[in-house]
Amino acid sequence: MCGIVGYIGKQKALPIILSGLERLEYRGYDSFGFCVFNSKPLLYKEVGKISLAKALAKIKSDGLIGIGHTRWATTGEVTKENAHPHSGCKEEIFVVHNGIIENYKQLKEKLIKEGHKFKSETDTEVIVHLIEKYFKDNLEKAVTRALKDIRGTYGLAVISVKDPDKIVAARLSSPLIIGVSEDEFLIASDPSAIITTTRQIIILEDNEVAVIKKDGLTILKEEKELKKEPEMIEWDIEQAEKGGYKHFMLKEIMEEPNVIEDAIRGRFILEEGNVKLGGLESVEKKLREINNIFLIGCGTAHYACKIGEYMFEEYADILSQSDFGSEFRYRKPIVDKKTASIFISQSGETADTLGCLKEMKEKGAMCLGITNVVGSSQSRETNAGVYTRSGPEIAVASTKAFIGQLTILAMITVYLGRQRNMSLTEGKEIVSALKKLPLMAKEILIQAEEIKKIAKKYNKYKDFFFIGRKYNYPIALEGALKLKEISYVHAEGVAGGELKHGPLALIDKNCPTIAICPTDAVYEKMISNIEEIKARKGPVIAIASKGNEEIKKIADEIIYIPKTLEILTPILSVIPLHLFAYYFADSLGCDVDKPKNLAKSVTVE
Ligand code: M6R
């Protein structure tokens, strides 16, 4: 999400750090900062974009060691104080960090009692205070000790004036690489930040700590030294920005398991069969009274709303209605004190959605948001809400953000359900199943090559249907939207039961259908729909549950997904559809990341 760059060596550190940070900005950052050691530390932070020329004209430094960071806010708003590096009470130790510290609130409370003074709202700041607390005379020892208190994920880099000739870096589930050159080393969260200086890199693995000095590098794991040889990366800048993938869209689909993991991280209270959503704490009491929810969003976010509607009604017993932002404006919603509205948006800047938010506020409804971009208009205008933490989404086609939205909706369902009639057992069951989803999502992505073959095989067809029922009806809509927006073929999502009311007239051997039919409450009905299609010679690609052998008798192609609870199936069933759309469009040579006529953020009504 955020970007880290560090340098130690024979050259001036500042220009190298700044140009590295500038190269990371393609991911859409909101603030940046660095700390370089001259005779004393030079700490600088700013909100907004980096202007290398401007920064270098303004700031002079001959320091040969430093760390820098571009922030994409997750915990705490976009402010100078929240930008990294963070320092402890004495401004002697400096930290840049990517990831999420789950137990930061507890740690912060304890550190404050011990006399530490905090300057920001971030989770990161606890790391530097912990290092300060444990520091005696050696930075890596203090870092290693501090990490023992931390629960969460991190890629971090630390420097200290009290142990000044080294950078200490550590990683757990957040990427960090070390660039190796003659008498100099760089660290970065992303190869694109350093490959103009060196292509020799060492990838830091989980639980490894690197001690980087200008004349040598030591990597420690459980305090024992490891031998690691640098490897050569051949990527050019453009490939590096995409993590080696051909397109951002593919990179973002491949990040879907991590998105689920980040969305749920630190948000479960397993023993209570419940979730902890900090962003809803302020409205907790009011939410208990709610008996009517409107869910509003556009495009893909609207399909998330539709799934939320099914979830809330089935598990939280709340009357729920979803609508497009662009249509809801023309309705006359009945709003009273027991009405809540939830606005879902990746960008938090979609004009149609924001317009509805304004109207619902005026009508006095509680307005909640599910947003990816911290500090966006939506997140500022809503009364409360939950961030998806999906990281920057660059491709115009929304993929990983949708997965984040569905994961949050499932958690809000548990939250609302447990406030009402959901039993402890049921709550526990959903929470445990959610925990297993990241691995299951990875299992689907392993089939990417198979899905690619299917997509190529079908890329001559010009019309597609996508069908599904219940939770997977909106997934049919999403699958069709994704295919049409990036490959320009006609695709229509239909509720399985609606086929015979009209669309069936179009089915023949030239019109394939993608049928989303996991083994759930509506499986038998979906099989009947597939039979209707097969009777008219329509080719069928089935998205079915692992272990379903019977489906082989009727479907032409099958993509298997792992079994999970019915409420969570859409989070898995959409993954093969994202891959299918991607490979289909790519095989036609389409400009996948920037489809014609479309924009990433639609800020006009
Ligand atoms: O930023 P938002 O989530 O509010 O954007 C909503 C839609 O514009 C967006 O989902 C759009 O439909 C995508 N191109 C779908 O892939």
Tell me if residue 2 is catalytic.
yes
What average pLDDT does the chain have?
Answer: 94
Ligand 1 nearest atom to the CA of residue 300, by list position: 10
Q: C-alpha distances in angstroms, 512 versus 247, 425, 468, 501, 502?
A: 26, 41, 14, 18, 16
Say which of 286, 534, 594, 600 is annotated catalytic: 600
Say which of 2, 298, 511, 590 is annotated catalytic: 2
Ligand 1 nearest atom to the CA of residue 297, by list position: 4
pLDDT, tens digit, for every residue of 175-232? 899 999 988 999 999 888 888 889 899 989 999 999 999 889 999 998 889 999 998 8
- Pairing label, strands 366-371, 216-221: unpaired
Q: Whose CA is nearest to atom 4 of ligand 1?
A: 345
Domain 447-594 falls under CATH 3.40.50.10490 = yes
Say whether pLDDT at 373 is over 90.
no
238-444 — its CATH code?
3.40.50.10490
Ligand 1 nearest atom to the CA of residue 598, by list position: 14
State in Å: Cα 369 to ligand 1 middle: 15
Q: Whose CA is nearest to atom 12 of ligand 1?
A: 299
- The DSSP symbol for 76 reads S
State in Å: Cα 299 to ligand 1 middle: 5
Q: So what's the pLDDT on residue 57?
A: 72
Q: So what's the pLDDT on residue 28?
A: 67
State in Å: Cα 306 to ligand 1 middle: 14
Ligand 1 nearest atom to the CA of residue 601, by list position: 1
Instruction: Quote the percentage of the chain above a pLDDT of 90.
Output: 81
Say whether pLDDT at 53 is over 70.
no
State in Å: Cα 55 to ligand 1 middle: 35
- Calculate the CA dihedral of residues 404, 406, 409, 410 and round it to 10 degrees: -110
Ligand 1 nearest atom to the CA of residue 347, by list position: 1
Asked if 3-233 and 238-444 have one fold, the answer is no
Q: So what's the pLDDT on residue 1?
A: 61
Q: So what's the pLDDT on residue 592?
A: 95
The SS3 of residue 368 is strand
Domain 3-233 falls under CATH 3.60.20.10 = yes
State residue 214 phi and psi, 5-degree precision. -70, -20
Q: What is the 3-state secondary structure (H, E, C) of 318-354?
A: CEEEEEEHHHHCCCCCCCCCCEEEEEEECCCCCHHHH
Q: Whose CA is nearest to atom 7 of ligand 1?
A: 299
Q: So what's the pLDDT on residue 75?
A: 76
Ligand 1 pocket test, candidate residues 302, 346, 357, 592, most atoms within 8 A of CB: 346
Ligand 1 nearest atom to the CA of residue 482, by list position: 16
State in Å: Cα 402 to ligand 1 middle: 9
Bigger pLDDT: 209 or 376?
209
Say whether pLDDT at 332 is over 70.
yes
Q: Whose CA is nearest to atom 9 of ligand 1?
A: 299
State in Å: Cα 595 to ligand 1 middle: 13
Q: C-alpha distances in angstroms, 535 versus 462, 526, 530, 531, 540?
A: 21, 14, 9, 6, 11
Give how far the C-alpha of residue 289 lies from the chain's centroid of Cα atoms, to the nearest Å: 31
State in Å: Cα 408 to ligand 1 middle: 17
**Contact between residue 135 and residue 122 where contact means Cβ atoms under 8 Å apart:** no
Tell me if residue 136 is catalytic.
no
Confidence band for 73, pLDDT divided at 50, 70 and 90: confident
pLDDT, tens digit, for every residue of 77-130? 889 999 999 999 999 999 999 988 989 999 999 999 999 999 999 999 999 999
Q: So what's the pLDDT on residue 30?
A: 84
Ligand 1 pocket test, candidate residues 300, 402, 488, 582, most atoms within 8 A of CB: 300
Confidence band for 328, pLDDT divided at 50, 70 and 90: very high
Say whether pLDDT at 54 is over 80.
no
| 57 Cβ contact partners less than 8 Å away, ≥ 6 residues apart | none
Ligand 1 pocket test, candidate residues 303, 342, 350, 594, most atoms within 8 A of CB: 350
Ligand 1 nearest atom to the CA of residue 602, by list position: 8
Q: Domains of the chain: which residue ranges?
A: 3-233, 238-444, 447-594
Q: Which of 111-115, 571-575, 598-602 has the lowest mean pLDDT?
A: 598-602
Q: Whose CA is nearest to atom 16 of ligand 1?
A: 397
Cross-strand bridge partners of residue 466 = 493, 514
State in Å: Cα 82 to ligand 1 middle: 28
Max mean pLDDT range (16-25, 346-355, 560-569): 560-569
State in Å: Cα 151 to ligand 1 middle: 33
Ligand 1 neighbours, Cβ below 6 Å, are 298-301, 345-347, 350, 353, 396-398, 485, 598, 601-602
